[in-house]
Structures are given as C-alpha cells and as structure tokens.
Structure 1
Amino acid sequence: MPSGHDITPSEMMDGRWYNEEGIPTFKIEDDGTVDYATFSGFRRYHAECHVCHGPDGEGSTYAPALKKSVLRMDYYDFQEIVASGKQEVSNSANQVMPAFGTNKNVWCYIDDIYVYLLARGTDSIPRGRPAKKAEKSDDFIAQEDSCMSM
C-alpha cells in the first residue's frame, strides 16, 4: 500500500474513484476493464510526463520511475511536487523538475495521472495502453469541461 494508504475503491465522485479517506484510487474489473480515470491518466501521463520519466512510469536515465515514487509518498506530496516542481542538487547530479501547476493538461488530470501511476506501481495493470476501459461518465465530462474552461 502506498504510504500506508488503502487503495481499495470506496466511492465514485465526478467520475473518479476514491478510497475511504477521500484519496483518489483506481478500480479494475474482473475482466481487466480499468476505470476511465485510470485510462485518462495513461493518456495524460504519456502526453506530458513520459518524455522525462519514461514510458509507463518506468523512469529514465535522468528522471525517477514515478510508478515507484508514488508508492513512497502520499497523494498530497505528489500534488505539491507536480504543482511546484522540485530541484535536487548534489555533487553528482542536478535534477530539476519544472512546475506544472498552471498546465491544464496536467493539473486538470492530476488525479488521473496519480491513479494511473498507482495502478502501475502496484502491478495492477501491465505496461502499455489499457486494453479495456470503462465509459467516460457524464460527471467526468462535466468536471473536465469545468476545469479546462477556467
């Protein structure tokens, strides 16, 4: 379990699944169908994050494997780093992640990216595009439209 959080889906709100604590999580049906937010997270991750962090959250030579990082930090730390960026300087490296808090293609889908990486980090979904996805709900569409039009 990432940072001691339960990843069991408990409640759906705005087309996304949350655990008992109100933290975004994923839901995968017995036939392998992923919830739409997890599929959306796959798409957004590969549009915005994989250039540095590698395909499927696997990492690269200069950026960490986010599928592992989300298991070591809590949801709010993940949000803070994505929104504000991060810099780590040492004698051997200078790693800089830019802030994405004003990038709507990231920030409007931050929960989706998070749950996709959780699903990858817990080996709940394999590498590559999810083979089956749930339908995009009206609630998901409304929340997406609201965020993107701000």
Structure 2
Amino acid sequence: MCRAAPVVPRRKRCMTVFNGASGRTLILTAVLGLGLPLAGFISPSVADEHRVTGEAPGAFVVEDGRVDPNTYEGYIAYTRVCMACHGPDGLGSSFAPSLIRAAERRGWADFAGTIAAGREVQPGQVMPSFADDPFVLANMENIFSYMRARGEGGLGRGRPKVIESMEEEAEALREEAEALEEEVESDDTARDKQADD
C-alpha cells in the first residue's frame, strides 16, 4: 500500500456508531482530523483575510483555490482511500455516489458513521466499514472538510495548494504527524509480534 502524507491528530473523540446490518454498536475512540479546530489555529487577523466557513468538524478555508492544511490533508486522504470508488474530486462514479452531495445533505455524524460502519446502498452494493483503518479514522474530519470545500466553498477540481500564510503551520503539523505515525507503526509492529508469539 502506498503512503500518503502523515496525519496529525486534531483531538481524541469517542463516538458511538450504529452498524445497521447487525444492529451492534461500535464504540470507536479515534483520532479525528488534523491540528486544532480550525477557528483555534487561525489568528483573527489571518481569519479576516480568508473565507472561513462553518465550525469543526467540516470547517474549511478557501482562498483563490488554496485551502487550509486540514482541508488539504482531506484531499490527500480522499485521493488515497476514497477516489477508487467515489471518483476523482468526490464527483461520484458508476460504483459509488458523489461524496460532495453526501457532505452537503448529511451531517457530520451520518457522514462519519457511514465511513466507520459501512452502508448497504442497494442489494449487492456495499460500502465497506473503515472502522479498523487508523488512517481513515484519523482523516474522516479532513475528508468531510474537503468535501464541504468542494461543494460549498467553491474549491475547484484537482490538487489544491495550502494557503501561503498557513504553510508554516502546516509544516509544524506534518512534523507532529510524523512522530505520531512512527508511534502508531511501532505499536502495530509490537502487536503483530505479540500475535505471532
């Protein structure tokens, strides 16, 4: 599997997700998104210069086709995990619907619940659960922000760039993400070794 940009935790949250197929409740403690809530890491003077839409989760900034670091990471995660079924830029495909419309019509809880628990769209057409994929769980909020920016924020198709005034913050987030990723990989390696013994 190819590696995408590292993930930086926004904060830990505990969510209850209902699995419609079995009626079981999954309790997921997941690291969702990148950095801090968007309103918290943009200074008032910077926020005045940019278009800030909504509150976390799903908050995004779009300026001249450039985006905040969380929305950019949402693009990276979407491209890595979702694009094969949902098509380029969230537009949908013959396999799966547009995630842009899903983000517009559904709230955060339904969007995240579908990603974590999966969903049977039609008989024989099932979106799988990503509850056991730490990369996806860590980026659900970023993907939601990216889809909202595509649908509501006027973000065009293709790979966006990070807003220049936010690039330093993005670099600091990436460094923190690399440390977190190394920690997760170390934990996974130890768990795999323990399972082999």
AA at the equivalent of 1:84: A
Secondary structure at the aligned position of 1:125 is classed as coil
User: Structure 2 CA distance, aligned partners of 1:46 and 1:11?
Assistant: 27
Q: What is aligned with 2:40?
A: 11
Is residue 57 of structure 2 the alignment partner of residue 27 of structure 1?
no
Deviation, structure 1 residue 107:
1.3
Q: What is aligned with 1:57?
A: 90
Once the two structures are superposed, residues 79-122 of structure 1 have per-residue CA deviations (whole angstroms, 9 ceiling, x without a partner) of: 11101111133xxx532000112212211111111100111111
- Structure 1 residues 123 and 139, CA, compared in 2 at 3 Å: closer, same or farther? closer
Secondary structure at the aligned position of 1:88 is classed as strand
Q: TM-score, normalised by structure 2?
A: 0.59
Stretches (4+) displaced over 2 A? 9-13, 17-20, 131-134, 137-150
Deviation, structure 1 residue 28:
1.9
Once the two structures are superposed, residues 53-91 of structure 1 have per-residue CA deviations (whole angstroms, 9 ceiling, x without a partner) of: 0000000012000011110000011111101111133xx
- Structure 1 residues 40 and 98, CA, compared in 2 at 3 Å: closer, same or farther? same
Q: TM-score, normalised by structure 1?
A: 0.75
Rg larger in structure: 2
Query: Quick check: 2:75–2:143 contact (8 Å CA) kept in 1?
Result: yes
AA at the equivalent of 1:10: A
User: Structure 1 CA distance, aligned partners of 2:82 and 2:94?
Assistant: 14
For structure 1, the 5+ residue unaligned runs are 1-8
RMSD: 2.6
Once the two structures are superposed, residues 22-67 of structure 1 have per-residue CA deviations (whole angstroms, 9 ceiling, x without a partner) of: 43311123x4431011111111101110000000000001200001
- Structure 1 residues 131 and 137, CA, compared in 2 at 3 Å: closer, same or farther? closer
Matching of residues 60-75 of structure 1 within 5 Å: 60-75=93-108
Is residue 163 of structure 2 the alignment partner of residue 129 of structure 1?
no
For structure 2, the 5+ residue unaligned runs are 1-37, 43-51, 185-197
Query: Quick check: 2:65–2:156 contact (8 Å CA) kept in 1?
Result: no
Percentage of matched positions with identical amino acids: 33
AA at the equivalent of 2:109: Y
Q: When you count strand as a share of all residues, which structure comes out higher?
A: 2
Query: Quick check: 1:11–1:19 contact (8 Å CA) kept in 2?
Result: no
The alignment covers a number of residue pairs equal to 134
